[in-house]
Structure formats: C-alpha cells, structure tokens
Structure 1
C-alpha cells in the first residue's frame, strides 16, 4: 500500500492540501485513509499503475460504490414500503440510483473539481459526475465501514432526496415506458437511427420514431441512446393520455 500511496501522492504534489480541504468540506469529516480518496478521483488517463502493474484509478471504487448504494437503497425501501413486491422495489431502487440522479448528485457536490486527469474537464460527458459519486461512496465504505457509509448515503440521498410518492411518478426511461405501452396495445414501433453530423464537430445521431407505420417524433443527440430517449420522451407527451389509461 505504501507504494500506491507514494504514486498517488506524487501525482498530485502540492495540490494535496487543497484537495483534502475541499473533500473534507464536502464530506463533513476528515478522511482517514487518504490514498483511497485520491484514487477515487484519479482518472484512468493518468495511466498510473501499482507495483504489480494494476491500473490505479477510480473505476474499481466505482464498482464497489455502485454495489453499496444498491444495498443501502434496497434496505431502505424494504423497510419503508412493506407492501411493495419485488418488482416494485426493484423499479423504485432503479429510480433512486439512476444514472441521471447520480449525475445530479455529483454535480451538486462539484466532485469534478477534485478529479485528476490528463483530459480537459470540458471534454467529459455528463456521466463523469455520477461515476465520481459512486467512487466516493466506495472509498467511504472501505475507509469507514458499512454503517458509516450507510449514514452518509442517508444524509446525502435518502433524507433530502427520496420521497416515495414523487419517485412513483418519476420516469427513468421514456423509451421503456413507450415500448411497454406499444406492446400492451399491440402497436408496432420502429426507431430509425442514422448518423447526422452536419456541421457539428462532435458526431450526432438523428432518429425518427414511428408507431404503426407513422412518424410520431424526431430527435437528435450525440449518441444513439440519447437520441432514442429524446424521441421517446416527445412521443410520450404526445400520447400521454392514452398511455396513462393503460400503464
């Protein structure tokens, strides 16, 4: 571990003081295992490896944080909603730990200000915020243990953000919702996606969403998934009354 600490310490040099000052302010306590938190904000572009040649970056902590978040939220929902069956609880947990929600949390905490990377911050996609939040949770769990991490998740997410009634009405995927409606109503649907860069520097994709052979919405975004979701959202609001009667 001392080898890793030295690598991580050297990668930040004199910025360590500011890093932990900001981190302590976000967390509300002084961290114990500093190397974990430095790793939690080290991007793979730094290309740091340990003595065995293993990559040293936030991705493994992100994996741990994702699991801990899921467990804590699952326990909370199990206790809070005794009438909820497995399907209901799974859907509600997905809404709490959705990529969109975690990205919002990462942005609110300004976690990207702590990242060490060879890539300009302006080049990161929106998911970097949620990724860093998960890696931070992973670091807290390994540093302070499950109970402390559970308290942190309650303080940051559950107490101020989670309201069961609001969550029940929250849509995390308009595409999934629209497909479910089409299948129940025996309607055909088709997402015609094609590359549409135009004059943009970044590659874009356009999509035409057809239901029963008729184009009902169009959208354009920087990925196929985003374009399909945007088109689905527009179609959802166009058919909201019909969908509400079935789902």
Structure 2
C-alpha cells in the first residue's frame, strides 16, 4: 500500500519536481517524502517569500535546526569513538568537524548551490553560502524523515567519508585563537592594529598589523576585520611556528 501511495505521489509531480526529486534522492541515498522541506532549504531570503501565516520562507530557520542535528550526532560519535577524550578535547574536535570551513567544503562537494532559488546573482553570495545550505539541508532531512534518517545520512555521508580523527587532531581551525592562547600562556601582550582603506579596486579593505609584545609580527589585508585578523594570525603562526611547537 505504501509503495502504491509513493508511486501515485511520484507520478503526480511536475517534470521540474521530478528532476529535483531524482537529484535530491541521489544525494540522500534514500527517497524524500516531502519535497517542500528541501525546497525551503534552498530558498534564499532575497526571494522575499512568506508562508500562509506570513512568516519568512527561506532556509535560515532550517540552518539553525541542521546545526543542532549535526552537533548532536557528531558529539555522540566522538563520545563513543574516543573514550579517553575529556570534555575539552571532545568540544575542540567537534568544533573542527563543524567548522565553517568544513561545512563550506561539504556544501561545495554536494553541489547544493545548484538548487538555490534567489533573486540575486550567485556571484554575490559570500563563501559561507555553501555551509549555510548544507546545514539547512540537514534540517530538511530531519523534518522530512525524522532523527533516524538524519543520523543515518550524517553517519554515512559525512562521518564515514570526511571525519578522520587522527588528521583532525592536528588541524588548525583558527590561527587567531591559537596565537592568543599561546600569548596568554607565555604572558605576552598581543594587539591587532587596524587601518581602513578603499584600495585600487574601489572596495573597502582592512589592513591589520599583529603586534606581540609591541613588536610587529605579521601584516595582512582583507575585506573584513575578521578575515584580516585570521590571515595575519596565520602568517604570525608560521613565523613563530618553531617557538610555538616547543611549548
């Protein structure tokens, strides 16, 4: 009876929905039941859509839900796989797995950008669109098929293929945090000195100097203060790597 119901539903879809269904099924490894959740997961806020109650219809709430699902499944995996890891270790490892950089990589690998409905050109999206879509996609799976299927997808498509605990242990997800932690441990002062410029490209940039114990260690320039800090911190890390590694 269920198979007959699914067949009727499948035949009643529009050609466009049929293509979307096939592509989503290929990524999931199982058939979705309610395509509306997945469509919402790829609806950008620029469409200005609202639901029947007047609430914004876009992926942002699903992004929140997907983040929670990812965190819980990955936390359980780490808890079981690393029985010797304390709370600090497990928290740090989970942060590496769900880092923005890693989520962006997953979103790109699954080519989720192909599904986005938006009123702005894709080249106007920031880099984090890939990770945001991936989290929303996870949220859609949870609403469509429940926790069991959501956990199954995360285990099979993410943890088994992307999570190598040994490699992750040595991976740096924030050079800024690493530099700050080292400075605090060594009781050294640190300071990011910013200057704003428009550059020859006509776009606003932020130049930064990273000073440690009042000495300039690294310089960087980026389109945001956060990016400039991270870039300068990475350069400082490589400049001071020998000293940091000894500690």
Q: TM-score, normalised by structure 2?
A: 0.91
CA distance in 1, matches of 2:15, 2:160: 36
2:22 counterpart residue number: 21
CA positional deviation for 1:213: 1.1
> What secondary structure does 2:17 align onto?
helix
What RMSD in Å do the two structures reach over aligned CA positions? 1.3
> What secondary structure does 1:145 align onto?
helix
The superposition leaves residues 19-71 of structure 1 with CA deviations (integer Å, 9 ceiling, x where unpaired) of 33322222233211111010000011110111221001101111100000000
Alignment of 1:65-80 (within 5 A): 65-80=66-81
Asked if residue 32 in structure 1 is aligned to residue 33 in structure 2, the reply is yes
CA distance in 2, matches of 1:117, 1:70: 28
> What secondary structure does 1:118 align onto?
coil
2:167 counterpart residue number: 166
Q: TM-score, normalised by structure 1?
A: 0.91
> What secondary structure does 1:30 align onto?
coil
The unaligned stretches of length 5 or more in structure 2 are 1-13
CA positional deviation for 1:222: 1.2
Q: Which moved more, 1:125-134 or 1:27-36?
A: 27-36
The unaligned stretches of length 5 or more in structure 1 are 1-12
1:50 counterpart residue number: 51
The superposition leaves residues 118-164 of structure 1 with CA deviations (integer Å, 9 ceiling, x where unpaired) of 11101101100000000000000111111111110111211111111
CA distance in 1, matches of 2:19, 2:227: 36
Q: How many positions carry a matched residue from both structures?
A: 234
CA positional deviation for 1:15: 4.2
| Closer/same/farther in 2, CA of residues 144 and 197 from structure 1, 3 Å limit | same
1:185 counterpart residue number: 186
The superposition leaves residues 215-240 of structure 1 with CA deviations (integer Å, 9 ceiling, x where unpaired) of 11111111110110000000001111
Alignment of 1:92-111 (within 5 A): 92-111=93-112
CA positional deviation for 1:206: 1.1
CA distance in 2, matches of 1:225, 1:163: 28
CA distance in 1, matches of 2:158, 2:195: 38
